[in-house]
Amino acid sequence: MSKKSKRSDKDGSSTPTPIQTPAQAAAHCAVRADGIIHVARPYTNPAEPFTKIKTADVPDYLGMVDHDLTFESKRDYENALAFEEKRLNILVRKLAEAKKFLAVVFQGRDGAGKSGSVVRISEALDHDAKLFRSVPIGPPSEEERAHPPQWRFFRDDRMPAYGQVRVYDRSWAEEVLVVRVNKIKPEAVWQKAYAQNRTMEWMFEQEGGIVVKIWFDITKAEQKRRFDARAEEKPWKLSPSDAEARKKWKQYTKAANEMFLRTSTDYAPWFIVSSEDKRYSRVHVLKIINEQLETALGCKFDDESKDKEKSAPKLVHKSEKKAKHAKRSR
């Protein structure tokens, strides 16, 4: 939370954030022209206790995702990717001087391409180990389970220093996703994690942290196609938890939508990106990070080529693209 957005009552206590109607919640959700969904809800108190709401009052954010977007051509994709990679490399190197750090959170459907995007960021930063480290998050160890759930993110160099970048392939958000869906902890326990996560992210922002949270979304049909391909080509990448997650698709959808509502803040919003088309998601994940960096650093990436087409490539719907190709082939 920025210092400007915090309000207090006359007695010094924080004003509670009212539970919003679907229409009010939707007002803090923007579906951009490039297909990215941006959710940012203002909070007066990040540590605000959990209060129950009706399922009908949770917007279906994932139902708003457009999975049909793609680049008009391969050249458009390659130009856009090169532009965003260069932009990231330059912007990240301004973090140290500004006494800021970057924490990128990747969550999403299994098989949606989170690990592939981690590789893209590493490549964009020239695999510079002084700047960048990826942090894959699995089930907590026995030692980690003996501590509060956020504790493990502050050990073993998992938290970035000023001038550094960490990308979390799954994160503290798991406390309200996999923990909830698989009933690993009682309701009263995981429900506290909404406030804990908001508070931790607020603490990061207050200390110069730039928190970028991205959800990778694909359709159930596309997930099955990718899992089938993995079984043939990379069987070691499949795990029993993948099949289990498919069985609980609706439960994960419900948990994710409520997570967006309760943990999307003005200082650490959620961005939802379709990963149905890998080229589209690769570019737009970098684009989101770069936009957040520019906002936090108060600067713009000045591309010497001045080629606006690279920074704003033409997007089309796959159905339109197929129709064009079919028309040409007649």
Decide: residue 193, CB within 10 A, 0-12 exposed, 13-18 middle, 19+ buried: buried
User: Which has the closest alpha carbon to 116: 4, 275, 318?
Assistant: 275
Q: According to the model, what pLDDT value does residue 254 have?
A: 97
Rounded CA-CA distance 207/221 in Å is 42
Q: Which tens digits make up the pLDDT trace of 152-162?
A: 999 999 999 99
Contact 196, 175 (CB under 8 A): yes
pLDDT (average), residues 307-321 = 74
Residue 89, number of CB atoms within 10 A of its CB: 17
One-letter identity of residue 107: Q
pLDDT category of residue 307 using cuts at 50, 70 and 90: low
pLDDT of 308 over the 90 cut: no
pLDDT of 190 over the 70 cut: yes
* Average predicted confidence (pLDDT) for the chain: 89
pLDDT category of residue 166 using cuts at 50, 70 and 90: very high
Rounded CA-CA distance 7/3 in Å is 9
One-letter identity of residue 3: K
Q: For 52-56, 72-76, 175-179, 238-242, which range has the lowest pLDDT when averaged over its residues? A: 238-242
pLDDT of 324 over the 70 cut: no
Residue 97, number of CB atoms within 10 A of its CB: 10
321, 86, 35, 223: CA torsion to nearest 10: 80
* pLDDT cut 90: percent of the chain above it: 77
Q: Please list the residues that pair with 270 across neighbouring strands.
A: 39, 213
Rounded CA-CA distance 162/23 in Å is 39
Residue 233, number of CB atoms within 10 A of its CB: 8
DSSP 18: P
User: Which has the closest alpha carbon to 43: 13, 23, 64, 14?
Assistant: 14
- Residue length, the chain? 330
Contact 281, 274 (CB under 8 A): yes
Spatial CB neighbours of 184, under 8 Å, sequence gap ≥ 6: 178, 190
Torsion sign, CA atoms 259, 108, 284, 298: positive
Q: 28-51+58-328, superfamily in CATH?
A: P-loop containing nucleotide triphosphate hydrolases (3.40.50.300)
Please give the span between the terminal C-alpha atoms of the chain, in angstroms, as a whole number: 57
pLDDT category of residue 193 using cuts at 50, 70 and 90: very high
Prediction pTM value: 0.89
User: Which has the closest alpha carbon to 113: 311, 271, 280?
Assistant: 280
One-letter identity of residue 164: Q
Q: Which tens digits make up the pLDDT trace of 96-133?
A: 999 999 999 999 999 999 999 999 999 999 999 999 99
pLDDT (average), residues 23-34 = 81
Contact 21, 173 (CB under 8 A): no
Q: According to the model, what pLDDT value does residue 20 have?
A: 52
pLDDT category of residue 239 using cuts at 50, 70 and 90: confident
Rounded CA-CA distance 212/264 in Å is 11
